[in-house]
Structure 1
Amino acid sequence: MKLRPVAADKHSCECGDACETTQPAIEHAEGERFSWLVSGMDCAACARKVENAVRKLDGVNHVQVAFATEKLTVVARSDIREQVEKAVQQAGYRLQGENAPTQVSPSRLQENLALILLIVMMSISWLLEQFNHPFGQAAFIVTTLVGLWPIARQSLRLMRSGSWFAIETLMSVAAIGALFIGATAEAAMVLLLFLVGERLEGWAASRARRGVSALMALKPDTATRIVNGERQSVMAQQLRPGDTIEVPAGGRLPADGRLLSPFASFDESALTGESLPVEHITGDRIPAGATSVDRLVTLEVVSKPGESAIDRILTLIEEAEERRAPIERFIDRFSRIYTPAIMLVALLVAIVPPLMVGAAWLPWIYKGLTLLLIGCPCALVISTPAAITSGLAAATRYGALIKGGAALEQLASVQQVAFDKTGTLTLGLPNVTGLYPLPGTDEATLLTLSAAVEQGSTHPLAQAILREAQARRLTLPATSAQRALAGKGIEALVNGQSVRLSSPDKLPDMQLDEALQAEILRREERGETVIVVLRESLAIGAIALRDTLREDAREAVAALRELGVQGVMLTGDNPRAAATIAGELKMDFRASLLPEDKVNAVIALNQRAPLAMVGDGINDAPAMKAATIGIAMGSGTDVALETADAALTHNRLGGLVQMISLARATRANIRQNIALALGLKAIFLVTTLLGITGLWLAVLADTGATVLVTANALRLLRQK
């Protein structure tokens, strides 16, 4: 079930009551799956509150809240939708059912009504205090009670749902304590500053989610489907693979489609970061959300509902939030101990001096309440998720998908990058550059047999041979018993004879005559890849192919060197061809590698320094897993994309440089945020114990730290 959010009051972020992170990954959880969209979350810690509330329900196997997409997913042994909705409502948030009418979002005036009311009451109280002290005190008490009511109510809700040490609890205790000791003006000021900070957090949250919201809005709700020549307007969710749709000039694709029109240009910038329109011809696959630039186009739908390019990106974003950075998990655990400890210290500060040395009660109770607010770890708790959310959102704008905070942190530590050659450093579209038949065989026969064996293969070299045969209009005979020889070649029976295509270095020298070996050597020294063709175990010739470097490969590798990141090429190609490509890029290389050899090479390199493995094929997946972090090219296989910790959706290697730079900027941002959060607390802790600062400065310090941390994290959205 898919549900839409309704308007709800905003709530502040969690102050330390983090959830457990040991539950099984959602894809492995057993049971029935339910999902909703949640409203009212201001920061990533608010998502923890919702998780805490739902996790306590009987029958829940897994619960996950993705803050970026505001999605709650629950896996349970039975239908517990009603209990989930009740638990979330008790925690102060709201869900909307699938068939419920969509409610209009509140206006800015409605959203800020409580804050405006408190500001007005605070101003009136201050004016009364100037002219009549008793009336002013009474007004401040009323102002405090009005501001305290929603906060105390939310505190009780969170306690019932399992969040005992939220900021609402600390604020309520501090405000009530201030009233009891007669600090009425400061009690009211504490609540006013708290609401100001809350609104700023809500604004920051909406900024951080704006990129995801824009992505969700890329798909139109309706589509024009053509059935028997007639046009029908249907909901996008009704489209199925095989349907024919029309998209007008300026219209967006509601699903992934295969172009049926002869030619068209599409703006794919929202998905890939590519600023220029991309030209496509008949048969090309176009992602959902792309815009037809200049003409009406006809396409065949190729994606199921919920499985388009946009849906897959949103799914990755949701899954990314489950993969939290190690530092974020540490701060979560730390804050669970820190918050109750601060409450205990504040209590001791309030009672120990009066009891032990006979000090006056009111000044030390005041200091204890001030310390309570200073100690709130709100800024510390959101320091990491705020930066990571901003970093992940910024990455999507450049066509980079990073699967969570853990991957972002690993990426920041990378000092080496291992590249697969074909399809990564090169375009993966090699062309046949020469046919070299031995005596007794002609070029047509050599190419016909080779293409026959390669029929059905998706390997780039196989596709090049098939394209060459098609260009020469050769008729291919039927084959049987086709089988791939992992890392060595492919063979099949053609007209009853065994035909094998193999790399020269995988054959005994005795199978190749001197003339053919000399020709192979010359071609490989030029950077070409050579395939030997054997019939009945006898060589009948060779085919030379050459791939071309990506346009931005040299620039990207050079930019990585400037970042202090060394590149190395790992390829199954022969050493001479690999050396030519590596020489052009001025990088180290390992050649003639089988998939298991790539894994061993990655493990060895990874032991020297953190390594990222970039690839696009099934054979790259094991090496990606062995590296510190795996990065897939967007044009790669599904296996590579699933295995990778990050992906370059636009296939530009320059995005790798942007990705690493952004990860390092995010790491620096996190350190700055932690320093800000702890530094301000340390300063005000000392000044409070010395009697220099009071309650309102304490909450200003806490709110100020939260705002500074959030604003600093938002700088990542402008990262170049």
Structure 2
Amino acid sequence: MTEYRLKGLSCANCAREMEEEIQKLPHGKEAKIYYNSGKLSIPEDIHLPNVEKILAKDGVAIIKEQDSSNEEGHHHAEGHGGPNWKVLLSLSTILFVSALLLEDYLPVAAVVSIYVAATVISGYQTFIKGMKNLFRFKFNIDTLMTVALVGAFSIGEWREGTLVAILFGLNEYLEGLGMEKARRSMATLLQVAPKEAVLVDGGHEKVVPISALKVGDIVLVKAGEKIPSDGKIIEGKSSVNESAITGESMPADKQIGDDVFGGSINNEGVLKVEIAKAYEDSSLAKILHLVEEAQETKTPTELFINRFAKYYTPAIMLISVFVMIIPPLLFGSDWGTWFYQGLAVLIVGCPCALILSSPIAIVSGITRNARNGILVKGGIHLEQLGKIETIAFDKTGTLTKGEPHVEKTIVYAANFYQIAGAIEKNSSHPLAVAVVKEVSKHVRQIEEAADVQTIVGQGVSARMNEKSYFLGNENSLSHLSLPNKVKEDIAQLKEKGYTLVAVADEDKVLGLFGISDQIRPEAHQLIKRLQENGVKQTIMLTGDHQKSAEKVATAIGLTDYYAGLLPDEKVRKIKELTETSMTAMVGDGINDAPALATADVGIAMGKGTDSAIETADIVLMQDHLGKLPSAIAISRRVNRIIKINIILALSLKLIALLLTIPGLLTLWIAILSDMGATVMVTLISLTILIEKKQEKAEGVSIN
């Protein structure tokens, strides 16, 4: 498939009709017009001139590669007239006002000529396309407007016909302007991708395009420059702005050995980075590609609107015919009056505002979330996220940090910390790392034990100062007769859900560590904010034992929890939950892949890991859950605005149609009802992009 950018694509309904026409061409079955991003995708073997002819009939053109740089950041979709549309509308309006003011001073023929000139200037493209469509029996908005204009002029309604042409042109311009605003907001987001890199090759530096970088290349990144692709720092130290990836405004400190993301910005100093991934495989490239794709996935609401529009326009034409002939035939009413009313009904029937009610809101919602480091893979997932009532969380690495942490210590002997540190000093086991970290708080210099040996099912033994020591679980104390106090302490630690690590010598217990997976600091506030945003159930699904699960669930205020679950049991539980409510599953994107796939919405976290990006419907690019409530709030707002837009679009049309009953509907009222709906739908949708200052703080609800 080959992708092209389009110029002048400002009408959602027209885009749909052009796509259908292109798909009828030889080899064109897979062709797609992406209205939201203003792009065309066609198979390699389709004949391009035929495609260009179809596009040209609606005033749309393909932007050639050599023109792309000129178009970058430029507003190129200004309605069906292109860049000069504002000038044409202004000139047409001046002529119209002049004709109004001079009606009493000039001959009728002169005034009519001015009205015709104003109409031609603002409506000639619509008229040409409408006439072509009429001969092909293709009934879209251009056809409806052409019939209305011809009808108005044929019965001598010069003034109103001209006003209709001008207002329709203005309506088309505003419609294109609104969609282009959403597109440019997305384009700004996508511009974070770096273009070039400074490659260090044999001691020489040269500027190369990022597409030329290979795994293992060394690049130089100066202060203020973007890191070209994912890699590892091999020289230098700096703070790095990773907001393009994670949405986090605070810089992250980086030093030799640390991983960095492509697209992040080096704040100070000079870094040498070894490239770990070619740019097209980097986290940023995947994110930008998915964000672009996400704009084009149709939501159930959009699909319904598109199906509805197919039948809506022909129905309006039938109603228009009935309005023209029924009153004169059955009730002897004036033919001219009801012919005029029928023309007004045609204009009311324009489906553009209805079709526009969803895409601008969807693009704005996806863009807004992406700015916050929340990657939504499609409009359908955005819509579903806004309907979530139940959220199921994995425990380890999601609600907790996934790192063992010493939460409780009970000391019986003065050398407890020294012995524990000496035994665990060289071990890489997660529990050993936690123990050494805690010991370091109490011991300045940790010695090293000798003859460290693993005892299966118990822990480890070692020797220090000609004496044997033991570290491990309760079984490692089997050689001792435990005092009641020690037994009670062990029982209490186990009751509270801690993992027990005991330290003993040949004669007595030196002390106890109570280790747990540390709860994320934002977890408790997170649950509260989710409930404020309409989430009714917060549930934890974990393979951990009952006491540990209960401890975490109680601490952060979950509504329920299920412990001791195997991966397939998590999937079964998710299936049960989805039967009664819209359910999201939040996990780390690796161990929870089956459950994420089973849920209505799968949400992964993990600071942009490949597995998270590939597995879930929504990815939190931060290494915490703080922005999940914001994502849900934005999605709920998008859904709410789409409903408001649909109601507004249909209500204004219904009111205008009801005016035909007493015969009060005029052409200018008809066009204003459609124009009003389009303008309101566009402006309301664009409010999603507005980020208030207080909302920039993490986790603030935007409802």
Q: TM-score range by the shorter chain?
A: 0.7 to 0.9
The answer to whether the aligner puts 1:557 opposite 2:536 as a matched pair is: no
Secondary structure of 1:624's partner?
Answer: helix
Q: Which amino acid aligns with 2:92?
A: L
Retained in 2: the 8 A contact 1:52–1:163?
A: no
TM-score (norm 1): 0.79
User: Which of 325, 330, 335 is equivalent to 2:299?
Assistant: 325
Counterparts of residues 2-151 of structure 1 (less than 5 Å): 33-42=1-10, 44-45=12-13, 47-75=15-43, 78=45, 80-81=47-48, 83-98=50-65, 102-103=69-70, 105=74, 110-132=84-106, 133-151=108-126
CA offsets per residue over residues 520-573 of structure 1, 9 Å max, x none? 8655444444699xxxxxxxxx99753222221111111112234221111111
The answer to whether the aligner puts 1:393 opposite 2:364 as a matched pair is: no
Q: Following the alignment from structure 2 to structure 1, what is the Cα–Cα distance between the partners of residues 66 and 191?
A: 20
Q: Following the alignment from structure 1 to structure 2, what is the Cα–Cα distance between the partners of residues 156 and 462?
A: 80
Q: Following the alignment from structure 1 to structure 2, what is the Cα–Cα distance between the partners of residues 472 and 42?
A: 73
Pick closer, same or farther for the CA change 1:298–1:304 going to 2, 3 Å: same
Retained in 2: the 8 A contact 1:141–1:184?
A: yes
The answer to whether the aligner puts 1:233 opposite 2:207 as a matched pair is: yes
Q: Following the alignment from structure 1 to structure 2, what is the Cα–Cα distance between the partners of residues 414 and 34?
A: 37
Q: Following the alignment from structure 2 to structure 1, what is the Cα–Cα distance between the partners of residues 84 and 669?
A: 28
Q: Structure 1: any 5+ residue segments left out of the alignment? A: 1-32, 437-441, 455-459, 478-502, 533-541
Secondary structure of 1:428's partner?
Answer: strand
The answer to whether the aligner puts 1:285 opposite 2:285 as a matched pair is: no
Q: Which amino acid aligns with 2:204?
A: E
Q: Which amino acid aligns with 1:562?
A: E
Retained in 2: the 8 A contact 1:570–1:589?
A: yes
Q: Which amino acid aligns with 2:579?
A: Q
Q: What is the CA distance between 1:139 and its match in structure 2?
A: 1.6
Q: Following the alignment from structure 1 to structure 2, what is the Cα–Cα distance between the partners of residues 504 and 158?
A: 82
Counterparts of residues 216-295 of structure 1 (less than 5 Å): 216-295=190-269
Q: Which amino acid aligns with 2:528?
A: A
Counterparts of residues 641-656 of structure 1 (less than 5 Å): 641-656=613-628
Q: Which amino acid aligns with 2:689?
A: L
Q: Which amino acid aligns with 1:576?
A: K
Retained in 1: the 8 A contact 2:93–2:118?
A: no
Q: Following the alignment from structure 2 to structure 1, what is the Cα–Cα distance between the partners of residues 123 and 438?
A: 78
Pick closer, same or farther for the CA change 1:98–1:158 going to 2, 3 Å: farther
Q: What is the CA distance between 1:640 and its match in structure 2?
A: 3.9
Q: Following the alignment from structure 2 to structure 1, what is the Cα–Cα distance between the partners of residues 152 and 583?
A: 55
The answer to whether the aligner puts 1:359 opposite 2:333 as a matched pair is: yes
CA offsets per residue over residues 316-351 of structure 1, 9 Å max, x none? 223323432212211111110011110111012112
Q: What is the CA distance between 1:385 and its match in structure 2?
A: 2.0
Pick closer, same or farther for the CA change 1:220–1:680 going to 2, 3 Å: same
Residue in structure 1 matched with residue 141 of structure 2 by the alignment:
167
Q: Following the alignment from structure 2 to structure 1, what is the Cα–Cα distance between the partners of residues 557 and 679?
A: 46
RMSD value over aligned CA atoms? 3.9
Secondary structure of 2:388's partner?
Answer: coil
Q: Following the alignment from structure 2 to structure 1, what is the Cα–Cα distance between the partners of residues 230 and 317?
A: 55
CA offsets per residue over residues 554-600 of structure 1, 9 Å max, x none? 11111112234221111111221222221210212211111111111
User: Which of 318, 334, 337 is equivalent to 2:311?
Assistant: 337
| Identical counterparts, % of pairs | 36
Find the structure with the greater CA-based Rg.
2
Pick closer, same or farther for the CA change 1:711–1:621 going to 2, 3 Å: same
Q: What is the CA distance between 1:700 and its match in structure 2?
A: 0.9
Q: Which amino acid aligns with 2:582?
A: P
Q: What is the CA distance between 1:681 and its match in structure 2?
A: 1.0
Pick closer, same or farther for the CA change 1:83–1:530 going to 2, 3 Å: farther
The answer to whether the aligner puts 1:630 opposite 2:602 as a matched pair is: yes
Residue in structure 2 matched with residue 152 of structure 1 by the alignment:
127
Pick closer, same or farther for the CA change 1:53–1:156 going to 2, 3 Å: farther
Q: Following the alignment from structure 1 to structure 2, what is the Cα–Cα distance between the partners of residues 513 and 65?
A: 77
Q: Following the alignment from structure 1 to structure 2, what is the Cα–Cα distance between the partners of residues 686 and 375?
A: 13
Counterparts of residues 192-211 of structure 1 (less than 5 Å): 192-211=166-185
Q: Structure 2: any 5+ residue segments left out of the alignment? A: 411-418, 440-445, 453-471, 503-511, 692-701
Q: What is the CA distance between 1:686 and its match in structure 2?
A: 1.5
Q: What is the CA distance between 1:381 and its match in structure 2?
A: 1.3
Residue in structure 2 matched with residue 424 of structure 1 by the alignment:
398
CA offsets per residue over residues 651-698 of structure 1, 9 Å max, x none? 342211111111211221112111111111111111233222310111
Retained in 2: the 8 A contact 1:253–1:287?
A: yes
Q: What is the CA distance between 1:393 and its match in structure 2?
A: 1.9
Residue in structure 2 matched with residue 5 of structure 1 by the alignment:
none
Q: What is the CA distance between 1:624 and its match in structure 2?
A: 1.4
Pick closer, same or farther for the CA change 1:47–1:475 going to 2, 3 Å: farther
Which deviates further from its counterpart, 377-386 or 98-107?
Answer: 98-107
Q: Which amino acid aligns with 1:95?
A: I
TM-score (norm 2): 0.81
Secondary structure of 2:235's partner?
Answer: coil
Pick closer, same or farther for the CA change 1:204–1:420 going to 2, 3 Å: same
Secondary structure of 1:60's partner?
Answer: coil
CA offsets per residue over residues 253-307 of structure 1, 9 Å max, x none? 2323322234211122344332221222323332222221122222122332333
Residue in structure 1 matched with residue 413 of structure 2 by the alignment:
none
Aligned residue pair count: 638
Q: What is the CA distance between 1:514 and its match in structure 2?
A: 11
Q: What is the CA distance between 1:110 and its match in structure 2?
A: 3.3
Pick closer, same or farther for the CA change 1:188–1:216 going to 2, 3 Å: same
Retained in 1: the 8 A contact 2:345–2:657?
A: yes
Residue in structure 2 matched with residue 602 of structure 1 by the alignment:
574
Q: Following the alignment from structure 2 to structure 1, what is the Cα–Cα distance between the partners of residues 618 and 491?
A: 38
Q: Which amino acid aligns with 1:610?
A: M
Q: Following the alignment from structure 1 to structure 2, what is the Cα–Cα distance between the partners of residues 176 and 472?
A: 96
Secondary structure of 2:274's partner?
Answer: strand
Q: What is the CA distance between 1:710 and its match in structure 2?
A: 0.9
Q: Which amino acid aligns with 2:41?
A: T
Q: Following the alignment from structure 1 to structure 2, what is the Cα–Cα distance between the partners of residues 574 and 513?
A: 27
Retained in 1: the 8 A contact 2:425–2:448?
A: no
The answer to whether the aligner puts 1:573 opposite 2:540 as a matched pair is: no
Q: Following the alignment from structure 1 to structure 2, what is the Cα–Cα distance between the partners of residues 225 and 591?
A: 51
Pick closer, same or farther for the CA change 1:144–1:101 going to 2, 3 Å: closer
Retained in 2: the 8 A contact 1:620–1:640?
A: no
Q: What is the CA distance between 1:167 and its match in structure 2?
A: 1.8
